Amino acid sequence: MDYKIGVISGDGIGPEIVKEAKKILDKTGEVYGHTFSYDEILMGGVSIDATGVPLTDGAIAQAKAANAVLMGSIGGNTTTSPWYQLPPELRPEAGLLKLRKSLNLFANLRPAYLYEELKEACPLREDIIGEGFDMMIMRELTGGLYFGKRVTEERDGVMTAEDTLTYNEHEIRRIAKRGFDIAMKRRKKVTSVDKANVLDSSRLWRKIVEEVAKEYPEVALEHMLVDNCAMQLVKDPRQFDVILTENMFGDILSDEASMVTGSIGMLSSASLNDTKFGLYEPSGGSAPDIAGKGIANPIATILSAAMLLRYSLDLDKEADAVEHAVKQVLKEGYRTIDIMPQEEEKKSSVTQVGTAEMGDLIAERI
Amino acid sequence: MDYKIGVISGDGIGPEIVKEAKKILDKTGEVYGHTFSYDEILMGGVSIDATGVPLTDGAIAQAKAANAVLMGSIGGNTTTSPWYQLPPELRPEAGLLKLRKSLNLFANLRPAYLYEELKEACPLREDIIGEGFDMMIMRELTGGLYFGKRVTEERDGVMTAEDTLTYNEHEIRRIAKRGFDIAMKRRKKVTSVDKANVLDSSRLWRKIVEEVAKEYPEVALEHMLVDNCAMQLVKDPRQFDVILTENMFGDILSDEASMVTGSIGMLSSASLNDTKFGLYEPSGGSAPDIAGKGIANPIATILSAAMLLRYSLDLDKEADAVEHAVKQVLKEGYRTIDIMPQEEEKKSSVTQVGTAEMGDLIAERI
Ligand SMILES: CC(C)[C@H](C(=O)O)[C@@H](O)C(=O)O
Ligand SMILES: CC(C)[C@H](C(=O)O)[C@@H](O)C(=O)O
């Protein structure tokens, strides 16, 4: 088959890591008899530089016309880059938010798990790591505070800024269903995170999640307050299977969870809508400080491409092959600099490689 | 001198731990020639049971009449306790929020540091702990999402819930000043945490913090996005001195930070207004599961009493004495169950004690 992949290389290390992911897709196509054609879509800083805005209507149309979109990363250093002198709605991140909304990408899946081979990179004590952990964060991505009404204005002569956090039952129900669906394919546990002791939106969240839970009698549901969840992720990450939560809590907790694994350069994410379409991107940022040096870790992007194969194109066998090749390369001891062991003695047992070399090694093993 | 201390014993382990803190205050009074008279104030579940509401106007008046308030903890198990069948504004937590607002307690100070003696309880890897860490979280406590307008209603037949996040320049300025003031007495670094790439309230926050920073040329200011901060607390907590942030981010990050120290049973907090008055409470919760068993750790509450001596009563010498006595008892190897070492071999080098015994041991050393 021929698949049309929208590609958002973006800013910072984006272009380098996306290049390797395309290399992997091409190799997978060769082996399994598919062709991938790529349509480069401008978003973020590169789009600002070229068009004056972080996302044009043409770019949205390109994304809609693709089977799926693979993204690197967008944005720059928020204190030094001139993009951040622009009004908020013209900055790089505004492009990403607009794309999520335009394509209705309400379900953000962020796996956070410990790689056996990278155990030593985990910031937690060994007895807490235990046999390792494996969670899926299901973050609502098109509602809540990030998409609410905002205003900055003088009120009685005092400068005042306001953001609004709104959720309706439909928005909560559809993401909750996704959370329970995923849990059914995993260890059948959902931890729904809210701040129901304070917020109205959280109380509605909890009510609807409980309604949805009734349709999944096999899944164990627990509720957890967001402040407690921030603690539990550090204290005992093994307790979690699926974490289901609203947009902002998900933003904070998913980043915390990926850091807790110690494998942030390895973690992919998918943003899905009601169709097969999805946007796939690594969990890490654009890392402008190391851009262009050829040292960025392409694995998270490569694994995002694997998620793309699995969720948007239904190519499970191909996705398995990519994931297996990544594991293989790690087992053989290849590491980019971010996942090198810290202790001197351990360094000699592994081989440090750059971005392109890592891509080649993985491609060879497919 | 004679000092009038309002006491909110509250729910769960509250009464047990407050009792030990009073024991310590009394002993301090004996040694240094002060008397403390206590006025018990009903708040939370006990107040609901006695009066039908979580905080009466009379209780607020009692608090206002005191030099300072010492609190245990309020609330119960949110799934099993009948308090959580009540409408939101009648639940235990609503009492605490109302008290904060009525007394204008806008500045919440939460120290998070690693106790040398409890290093092994820290969930982080030893090389990350290094020489240990010591942060102060300055959380805005009377604004933002927790005090905004809320509504749950049908909109076009769809149940919808909305919370509002509002900050004005005055609210931001006064908490920022507190943050910089504290930094001047510490390592002169402020990390202001926001989500300025998305929220209007965060952009105003950042702007006002920068204005305030100009009055403190000796203090180094950095801005950090909240999702990144949630990662950095796990990756490298040593980088932080003062974390300055709004109400909800502070709620989440301060809990994460205290868990990162591994010493949550040891961490105190102070909620202050524009006067010398303050409300002092342990960082941990009401722990209903262990209430009444005599095993709760009273140290966080005892250290909250030390903060009360220092900040509200200007009794620095006395506060030092309490803190010193706590260190001494830990050095001598006394531990409540929550801070017992996990490994068998290490258990024999310490002595496990209960709540009251821990209070006695500390009192004896003042
Ligand atoms: C860039 C930013 C708007 C975005 C978000 O907060 O949603 C990012 O942090 C993420 O998590 O994908
Ligand atoms: C009880 C609750 C309302 C409170 C809060 O979130 O402010 C608590 O979590 C805290 O941090 O003091």
pLDDT above 90: residue A263: no
Which of A227-231, B175-179, B202-206, B265-269 bottoms out in mean pLDDT, i.e. has the lowest? B265-269
pLDDT at A265: 84
Tell me, what's the pLDDT at B29? Answer: 97
Testing ligand 2's pocket by substitution, the residue of B96, B98, B137 carrying the most ligand atoms inside 8 A of its CB is: B96
Query: H or E stretch including B333?
Result: none
Say if residue B65 is exposed, middle or buried (CB neighbours under 10 Å; 0-12, 13-18, 19+). Answer: exposed
Q: Which pLDDT score is estimated for A119?
A: 87
Has residue B342 got a pLDDT over 80?
A: no
Contact A148, A162 (CB under 8 A): no
Residue A180 to residue A220: CA distance in whole angstroms: 9
Q: Give B300 to chain A, closest Cα distance, Å.
A: 17
Quote the pLDDT of residue A275: 94
Residue keyed to tokens 């821990």: B358
Q: Tell me if A255 and B127 make a contact (CB, 8 A cut-off).
A: no
- The answer to whether B318 and B32 are in contact (CB under 8 A) is yes
**pLDDT higher than threshold 80 for residue A58:** yes
- Longest Cα–Cα distance of chain B, Å, equals 68
What percentage of chain A exceeds 90 in pLDDT? 89
Question: Given the DSSP bridges, would you call strands A220-225 and B189-194 parallel, antiparallel or unpaired?
Answer: unpaired
Q: From CA B165, how far away is CA B145, in angstroms rounded?
A: 4
Write the pLDDT tens digit of every residue in A287-319: 889 999 999 999 999 999 999 999 999 999 999
* Confidence check: pLDDT of A343 > 80: no
Q: What angle do CA B341, B346, B350 make, to 5 degrees?
A: 75
Q: What is the mean pLDDT of chain A?
A: 95
Q: What percent of chain B has a predicted confidence (pLDDT) above 90? A: 89
Q: How far is CA A143 from the centre of its chain?
A: 17
Residue with the two structure tokens 């902002």: A248
A9-35 per-position pLDDT tens digit: 999 999 999 999 999 999 999 999 999
Strand partners, B152: B161
Nearest atom within ligand 2 for CA of residue B92 = 1
pLDDT of residue A304: 97
Question: Is residue A231 lining ligand 2, measured as CB closer than 6 Å?
Answer: no
Q: What is the mean pLDDT of residues A152-168?
A: 98
Q: Please compute the mean of the pLDDT values over residues B161-171 and round it to a whole number.
A: 98
Residue A194 has what DSSP assignment?
E
Strand partners for B150 = B163
Q: Alpha-carbon distance B204 to B246, whole Å?
A: 12
B230: pLDDT strictly greater than 80: yes
Return residues 159-198 of B near A (CB < 8 Å): 159-170, 195-198
Q: What SS3 state is found at A138?
A: strand
Q: What is the pLDDT of residues A193-219, one digit of tens each?
A: 999 999 999 999 999 999 999 999 999
Structure tokens, A154: 């003088």
Q: What is the DSSP letter of A86?
A: S
Measured CA angle at A306 (ends A300, A311), to 5 deg: 120
CB A166 within 8 A of CB A148: yes
- Which residue in the block uniquely carries the two structure tokens 């990662």? B231
User: Where residue A49 falls among pLDDT bands split at 50, 70, 90?
Assistant: very high
- Cβ–Cβ below 8 Å for A199 and B158: no
Any CB–CB contact under 8 A between A259 and chain B? yes
Nearest to A168 among B159, B205, B254 (CB): B159
Round to whole Å and give the CA distance between A11 and A284. 13
Ligand 2, pocket-test mutation among A193, A194, A195, A197, most atoms within 8 A of CB: A197
Ligand 2 proximity of A39 Cβ (cutoff 6 Å): no
- By C-alpha distance, the chain A residue nearest B233 is A256
The count of other CB atoms within 10 Å of the CB of residue A80 is 9
A210 has a chain B CB within 8 A of its CB: no
* DSSP for B218-281, written as a single string: TSEEEEEEHHHHHHHHHH-GGG-SEEEE-HHHHHHHHHHHHHHHT-GGG-EEEEE-SSS-EEEE
Candidates A79, A203, A230; nearest CB to B252: A230
- Average confidence score pLDDT of chain B: 95
Confidence at residue B119, expressed as pLDDT on a 0 to 100 scale:
87
Residue having the nearest C-alpha atom to atom 10 of ligand 2: B251
Which domains, ranges and CATH numbers included, belong to chain B? 1-103+277-366 (3.40.718.10), 110-262 (3.40.718.10)
* Structural element, H or E, at residue A117: none
Contacts of B123 in chain A (CB under 8 A): 124-125, 128, 234-235
Cβ–Cβ below 8 Å for B162 and A166: yes
Angle CA B289–B294–B297, to nearest 5: 80
Ligand nearest to the CA of B282: 2
Q: Which amino acids bring their CB within 6 angstroms of ligand 1?
A: A 93, 96-97, 251; B 197-198, 227
Q: What is the 8-class DSSP label of residue B343?
A: S
pLDDT attached to residue B135 = 96
Q: Supply the pTM of this predicted model.
A: 0.95
* pLDDT value of position A78: 81
B125–A123 CB contact, under 8 Å: yes
For B8-23, what is each residue's pLDDT tens digit?
A: 999 999 999 999 999 9
- For residue A258, what is the nearest residue in chain B, using CA coordinates? B231
Rounded CA-CA distance B74/B54 in Å is 10
Name every chain B residue with its beta carbon within 8 A of the beta carbon of A168: 155, 158-161
